[in-house]
Chain A
């Protein structure tokens, strides 16, 4: 019964997420609403971690495979993409690398600055 209940809770939340997507006029997918609902449920204790843990971890572990069909789907959009291939490739690569560097370095800068000031505070005490 354990896995049945866990699967039920996770799919039930996905379903409520779909409901919210239907009701609210925002371009937010059902999965993001669902993630918010599960997070709120866990934080408030309404949903116990043990009530979803194993099935949840299983789904997260096999998640990369779920992107294979979308990737293979590039076969069908190839015709549309082909004429724009050069500019789109440049934009994709440049923006990926800069976003990666900027978001990573910015947060690391703040973390290290806060660590440092934390240490100095301790030193002053």
Chain B
């Protein structure tokens, strides 16, 4: 079985797509917020792999082509940004204030909590880039001397949680402006949060896309300063 899967280019992609489709179906049918298609898809795929004894490398033989599409897909996030440019210009100050405050909050909460938990430098810098997109976050963690594998794991978990609870958090904190919803999702949960923002609307999606790029770049600069605090 493992042999066949290892040599199959489509097994990983097919499992991922079937479980995602199942997630969408379950979400439509039961309408619970926690029935998030992305989360379900990840969990179902994990269960299938563990149950059938297929290891991650074998699965990823095929599934890596899904990850391969991430770069062109991220490039395309410029489209909603372009379409909503007038709105962005008109709300420039609100957008800038939202993203800058988000980046600072992320760095400060990680600093304060790392101090509380008595983290050493290496553990602390591992978590500093947790709110930004994987590709930038990995670079930051590596540069500052963190555990890159854990950084990636935490970034993915943060994104998935943002994707699942984004709508709920908008309600709890009464964030009603589409622009602000997009900024909150993009600044806190990067590209995975942006996938949710795209579902909420064009404006949300555009603002969230912008937040990934701006928050990512600001964090590169901010994290190098914050790194010296522990």
Instruction: Show the binding face of A for B, using Cβ within 8 Å.
Output: 10-11, 13-14, 17, 26-32, 34-39, 42-43, 49, 52-53, 55-57, 59-77, 80-81, 84, 87-88, 90-108, 110-112, 114
Contact = CB atoms under 8 A, between A and B. Distances in A.
Contacts of A69: 12, 16, 59-60, 63-64, 66-67
Contacts of A53: 79
Contacts of B42: 68, 71-72, 74
A40 to B, nearest CB: 9
B136 A70 contact: no
Contacts of B158: 92, 95-96
The main secondary structure of chain A at its interface with chain B is helix
A97 B169 contact: yes
B36 to A, nearest CB: 9
A98 B173 CA distance: 10
Nearest to A30: B71
Given A69-B63, A70-B134, A72-B42, A103 B12 contact: no
Contacts of A35: 74-75, 77-78, 81, 209, 213
A95 B184 contact: no
A29 B131 CA distance: 15
Contacts of B119: 87
Given A75-B49, A95-B113, A98-B105, A29 B139 contact: yes
Contacts of B32: none
Contacts of B194: 63
Contacts of A93: 161
A53 B76 CA distance: 9
Nearest to B224: A27
Interface residues of B, number: 108
A30 B135 CA distance: 9
Interface of B: 12, 16-17, 19-20, 37-38, 41-42, 45-46, 49-50, 56, 59-60, 63-64, 66-67, 69-83, 85, 91, 93-95, 97-99, 101-102, 105-106, 109-110, 113-114, 117, 119, 123, 127, 130-131, 133-136, 139-140, 143, 147, 149-150, 152-154, 156-163, 165-166, 169-170, 173, 175-177, 179-181, 183-185, 187-189, 191-192, 194-195, 198, 205, 209, 211-213, 216-217, 220
Contacts of B69: 59, 62, 66
Given A72-B63, A108-B177, A31 B70 contact: yes
Contact of A70 (B113, B152, B177): B152
A36 B82 CA distance: 11
Contacts of A27: 136, 139-140, 143, 220
Nearest to B220: A27
A91 B82 contact: no
A72 B105 CA distance: 29
A32 B119 CA distance: 31
B191 A57 contact: no
A64 B38 contact: yes
Nearest to A106: B101
